[in-house]
Structure 1
Amino acid sequence: MKQGDIIIYGCVIIGAGVGLVFDAAFPGVLIGLGVGYVIQYLTKGEDG
């Protein structure tokens, strides 16, 4: 499993948890997924 995948999965889980607090788990998952892709892009570096 790649490091980028772990970042995305972690953000999805955190987003789902925050979404459950606000009774909106699915939108939380989608927001976490988007944030995960942005973080993966920003941490990619020049070699990737």
Structure 2
Amino acid sequence: MKRGDMIIYGCVIIGAGIGLMLDNAFPGVLIGLGAGYLLQYFFRKEE
């Protein structure tokens, strides 16, 4: 598994957990997905 994929999956799971605590899992997943893509963009290695 690639490092960037692990960042995205982790953020999605964290977002889903926060969303479940607030009784809205799907918006939490979407926010986590967006945050994961942003973190992947900032932490990728320059090629």
Q: Which runs of 5+ in 1 are unaligned?
A: none
Distance in 1 separating the partners of 2:26 and 2:15:
9
Where does structure 2 lack aligned partners over 5 or more consecutive residues? none
The CA RMSD over aligned residues, in Å, is: 0.6
Report deviation, 1:45: 2.6
Number of equivalent positions: 47
- The letter of the residue matching 2:9 is Y
Q: Deviations over 1:1-48 (max 9, x none)?
A: 10000000000000000000100000000000000000000001312x
**1:6 equivalenced with 2:6 (yes/no):** yes
- Percent of matched pairs sharing the same residue: 70
Q: Distance in 2 between matches of 1:45 and 1:24?
A: 34
User: When the two structures are superposed, what TM-score results if normalisation uses the length of structure 2?
Assistant: 0.95
1:23 counterpart SS class: coil
